[in-house]
Chain A
Amino acid sequence: MEIEGQATVKESQPPKFALLVDSEHKATEFHLFSSAAPHMRAFHLSWISFFSCFVSTFAAPPLLPIIRDNLNLTATDIGNAGVASVSGAVFARIAMGTACDLFGPRLASASLILLTAPAVYFTSIASSPISFLLVRFFTGFSLATFVSAQFWMSSMFSGPVVGTANGVAAGWGNLGGGATQLIMPLVFSLIRDIGAVKFTAWRVAFFIPALFQTLSAFAILIFGQDLPDGNYQRLQNSGNKQKDKFSRVFYHGITNYRGWILALTYGYCFGVELTVDNIIAEYFYDRFNLKLHTAGIIAASFGLANIVSRPAGGVLSDMMAKRFGMRGRLWALWAVQTLGGVFCIILGQVGSLTASIVVMIVFSVFVQAACGLTFGVVPFVSRRSLGVISGMTGGGGNVGAVLTQLIFFKGSKYSKETGITLMGVMIVCCTLPIFLIYFPQWGGMFCGPSSEKIATEEDYYLSEWSSKEQGKGLHQASLKFADNSRSERGRRVHSQTLPSNATPSANV
């Protein structure tokens, strides 16, 4: 079926949607305070459920000073559990991209959330280092909802706003990692004040994130839908949706070296964010002799910065692209992430409480903005295999979290402050590969676009389709995308090549 041009026009029939939509019925505007079905409703369901998964995954760290005494954990046990909590999602994120393709983001995310909820309930009855590790491992799988959230936003929102939708959904979801550091100590204190003993109070407290997670999954199933026009099953039955071949999509994703580089670098912004979520409360509690409650508040401010910093990264990426194109996006990503590494080094060095808090907040802003900036580049790496590239990058984030925790925060080899400094050094080193990312049509950080003949956007995106597939007309969407992506040339774009609505494409 031929798709109409992506003109931003109102439907000629009486408007079915509360927002302006394009020809695919994807919204072209983003109204944060509306929950109109299906677009804004999908946005709110998406970020709230992702938020609940973050709350559950990082519910244990703020209560570790109690849990480590109850379960007789050593520093090694704690480190192992921290690694386990983020390692499950490495493969789950890659698998989730496929599941969204096959079943739709609504069923895929709700299923994952309901299947991991038991792990959170069972945390209440953990009684040994091994059972603690297992519950954290299985709870961590729920972080794969990141991919379904991004996929859902990309299905509901069109070019001009998809970056904002994705940035806010991801940022507000990541907020859960910060909010949990406030919520869990509070819930624990309330339950303890009612009369429960410490070692029982923390167990009861875990029912809160577990119930929140269960209810958010129900909300998705009851109120959500996959696409503006309906759910996958109905659309596939009526023949309105094409299916691509999984093996080809997968192949073109994993053979794109840029996807691997971004997976590595995302490990040193998002991965570091996950690591810090795991260790920061204990760090402040132990190093500065604070009360549990206070350490929780400080640790929370790290994750809470996500409310603006990750979306701001996305906005910065778009601003750089308007002027300097893709090269601007890459430079901004490298600079912001490197600065994040520098502030991480400083954080491990400062010894006073006030300085630590200030440096930590600055560090959090840079690290989270880098996450937003990464997903300013990801949509352009591949059009056919966007899901696989997003999943690889997302999975790479978790690999980074696993690596940093294994190397620096397991056992008693390094004190926490030394570990933090060394992690900062690793961030700076592992951000350097961004120098190697090169798009023939736009250039890289140090080189301009190629002057050879195979250097247009069409050449780049159509190289993912064989001539046979092009003969069948399967490449039409990529062709459209290539045309729209010409804005990544920056100010050099000639106005006549742009249809009036083509957008300096925001992060998809």
Chain B
Amino acid sequence: MAATGLLLGLILVLGCFSEIGVALISFSSLQTTLVVTATHPQGLLRAGEDKITVRWGLNQSLPAGTDSAYKTIKVQLCYAPISQVDRAWRKTEDHLSKDKTCQFKIVKRPYTTGNQTLEWTIERDVPTATYFVRAYALDANDHEVAYGQNTDAKKTTNLFEIQAISGRHVSLDIASVCFSVFSIVSLMGFFFVEKRKGRKAQQ
């Protein structure tokens, strides 16, 4: 029947949209070989306005050749534990494909030896939360092989807070109020007209 066909079609189409499982890389298997620092102005940072300077590079005390597999560096903005409380959509999972800790990409660049620096303006869709910065080293297959972060293993130091934009505009506020008032006033208007019609009919 048409309904069954439609249902099957829907499932097939959705099958294309769903993400197919990737290789199961676990975070705990990665080595901390990168050194990452992030500097920023004091106090609360504002999304869309303030800048963070991120510096990353291989830990020089490691033997040469550690970075032979590194092809790309992916630097991300990650949620600190305090911003993950009671928010399952930001949960830290060991399997990287399921991990939701780092949801914002700062930069993704080919890997070069030596230290790299970037001055990044915080994007306007970053929500209000406490963050740290993490860099992943990816191999030729785009799989994570190592990482570094600007905080300690327990994610308690060097955290910084970002304040999101509100998304509100004065024009929106005014429009909301005007339309609301219009709804109420028009209701009263209708009642008034009804009463007048009723009185006229009785005359």
Residues on A facing B (Cβ under 8 Å):
65, 68-70, 72, 74-76, 107, 110-111, 114-115, 117-118, 121-122, 124-125, 127, 197-200, 202-204, 207, 210-211, 214, 217-218, 221, 233-234, 237, 282, 286, 288-291, 294, 297-298, 301, 353-354, 357-358, 361, 411-412, 415
Interface flags for B162-203 (1: CB within 8 Å of A; 0: not) read 001111110011011101101110110011001000100110
Segment with Cβ contacts to A, from B29-37, B63-71, B85-93: B85-93
Whether B11 sits at the interface, judged by CB under 8 Å, is yes
Number of interchain pairs (Cβ within 8 Å): 129
- Choose the segment among B15-23, B140-148, B151-159 that binds chain A (4+ C-beta atoms closer than 8 Å): B15-23
Residues of B within 8 A of A207 (CB): 175, 179
The total of chain B residues at the interface (CB under 8 A) is 42
Q: How far is the CA of A233 from the CA of B197 in the complex (A)?
A: 10
Inter-chain contact B186/A114, CB cutoff 8 Å: yes
Chain B residues packing against A (C-beta within 8 Å): 7, 10-11, 14-15, 17-19, 85-89, 124-125, 127-129, 164-169, 172-173, 175-177, 179-180, 182-184, 186-187, 190-191, 194, 198, 201-202
Task: Report which of B10, B86, B128, B176 forms a contact with A122, defined as CB distance below 8 A.
Answer: B176
Q: Provided the pairs A294-B18, A354-B15 are in contact, do residues A70 and B127 lie with their beta carbons within 8 angstroms?
A: yes
Tell me the nearest residue of chain B to A198, going by C-beta: B125
Interface residue from A203, A210, A237, A412 paired with B168 (Cβ < 8 Å): A203
CB pair B201–A361 under 8 Å, yes or no, is: no
User: Interface of chain B, helix or strand or loop or mixed?
Assistant: helix
Asked if residues A286 and B89 are in contact (CB atoms below 8 Å), the reply is yes
Would A354 and B86 count as touching, CB distance under 8 A?
Answer: no
Query: Chain B residues near A70 (CB, 8 Å)?
Result: 127, 164, 166-167
Contact (Cβ within 8 A) A200 B167: yes
**Interchain CB contact under 8 A, B180 and A121:** yes
A interface secondary structure, majority: helix
State whether A233 touches B198 (Cβ < 8 A). yes
- Please name 23 pairs of A and B residues whose Cβ atoms are closer than 8 Å in the assembled complex, sorted by A: A70-B127, A72-B127, A72-B129, A74-B85, A118-B179, A121-B177, A121-B179, A121-B183, A124-B175, A125-B172, A127-B166, A197-B167, A198-B167, A199-B166, A200-B168, A200-B172, A221-B190, A298-B14, A353-B14, A354-B14, A357-B10, A357-B11, A361-B7
Chain B nearest CB, measured from A199 CB (Å): 3
Residue in chain A with minimal CB distance to B189 = A221
Docked complex Cα distance between A298 and B10 (Å): 9
Known: A221-B190, A291-B17, A354-B15. A199 touches B183 (CB 8 A): no
Instruction: Choose among B15, B88, B129 the residue that contacts A412 (Cβ–Cβ < 8 A).
Output: B88
A504 to chain B minimum Cβ distance, whole angstroms, is: 27
Q: Which residues of A contact B15 (CB under 8 A)?
A: 353-354
Given A199-B167, A210-B179, A234-B201, decide whether A110 and B187 contact each other with a Cβ distance below 8 A.
yes
Per a CB cutoff under 8 Å, which of A107, A117, A297, A411 touches B86? A411
Nearest CB on B from A251, distance (A): 31
Report yes or no: A200 in contact with B164, Cβ–Cβ below 8 A. Answer: no
Centre residue among B14, B165, B184, B194 by max chain A CB count within 10 A = B14
Which of A234, A286, A358 touches B198 (beta carbons < 8 Å)?
A234
